[in-house]
Structure 1
Amino acid sequence: MTSTEQLTGERADLLETLRKHRGFLLHTVNGLTDEQAAARPTASELCLGGLVKHVTNVEHRWMLFAVGGAEAMERAEVDWVGQFRMAPGETLAGLVERFQEVADHTDELLTALDLDVAHPLPQAPWFEPGASWTVRRVLLHLIAETSQHAGHADILRESIDGARTMG
């Protein structure tokens, strides 16, 4: 299979759900300036551009895991603080473009990956020692992560200009 439009069943349902929540997140940043996207309008340290950047990085790293396991995932460096902020010189358009590139790559990978293939999780205090995740579980995690941050983004957007994207 080479096109995600040809998918059916569970795989199609999971990808459609991930796409829907990606769309919610992207809708929250539609029409914003770079300054608005970098703003932190609540008590939180989060900004809309940072959420797009974080979700992009999370999806990228988890797809490395889906293909090559923990070792592949851990090769991608993570700026644990900076991933939630827009750095000087970053633009919302650039962050959204990277988000789309990662999403397209994920969608293409998921047309062919066996959802039942599992890899041991990286060693981290938030993972059960010795646990493994299937590609299916990774996809479910990406849906949850994207959905959670789309909700955060909705609150931030409403705080910036009163726009509500999810209700």
Structure 2
Amino acid sequence: MGEREELVGSLDRRRMLLLRTVRDLTDEQAARRTTVSELTLGGLIKHCAFVEARWARFVTGGAEAMRGGDEDWAGQFRMADGETLAGLLDGYRRVALETDGMLRDLPDLDLSHPLPPAPWFEPGARWSARQVVLHLIAETAQHAGHADIIRESLDGAKSMG
């Protein structure tokens, strides 16, 4: 197995853990806050889809391609009226398939672009496609951990148990 397949496989395993955490939930459960945090299980799925799609656009088009509508940052972490867990899961799975396809078709994982200006990025820094995938693996794993805590608080279920 080559590097590209290992990276895509690692990202997919993190996604699987996140998706496993929301198995057998109702929309009401997915939208419920179970800790002092604003995070909800449905909101985490929504956020991970949004962030992954945004970084995939960066890989192919740079920082300019990351710009989208005036996204409500806090709203990414909540299920809005009319949203369903099934709909959010379908959206996340579509984003994952698109990201995986883009990464498989990308000519070179060393392709890089300057990062957008942000206080958490060093001025003038660039990220390669490889660095973006590593970032998505870390971000998805972090949010899978958040989801596990929320789910355990909700009904005692655990991702790995």
> TM over 0.5: same fold?
yes
Select the residue among 131, 135, 138 that pairs with 1:141: 135
1:23 positional shift: 0.2
- Rounded to whole Å, the distance in 1 between the matches of 2:143 and 2:6 is 20
1:74 positional shift: 1.5
Amino acid at match of 2:114: P
Aligned-partner SS, 2:120: coil
- Percent identity between matched residues is 63
Provide TM-score, normalisation by structure 2.
0.97
RMSD over aligned CA atoms reads 0.9
Q: Residue 106 of structure 1 aligns with which residue?
A: 99
1:78 positional shift: 2.6
1:26 positional shift: 0.3
Q: Residue 70 of structure 1 aligns with which residue?
A: 63
Structure 1 portions without partners, runs of 5+: 1-7
Amino acid at match of 2:115: L
Equivalenced residue count is 160
- Rounded to whole Å, the distance in 1 between the matches of 2:133 and 2:80 is 28
Q: Which runs of 4+ in 1 moved over 4 A?
A: none
Contact 1:61 1:76 in 2 (8 A): no
- Rounded to whole Å, the distance in 2 between the matches of 1:76 and 1:129 is 24
Q: Residue 122 of structure 1 aligns with which residue?
A: 116
1:28 is the counterpart of 2:21: yes
Provide TM-score, normalisation by structure 1.
0.93
Counterparts in 2 of 1:110 and 1:76: CA distance versus 1, 3 Å: farther
Correspondence 1:41-60 to 2 at 5 A: 41-60=34-53
- Rounded to whole Å, the distance in 1 between the matches of 2:144 and 2:43 is 12
**Any idea what the Cα deviations from partners look like across 1:44-80, whole Å, max 9, x if unmatched?**
1100000000000000000000000000112354321
Q: Residue 166 of structure 1 aligns with which residue?
A: 160
Select the residue among 74, 78, 87 that pairs with 1:85: 78
Aligned-partner SS, 2:81: coil
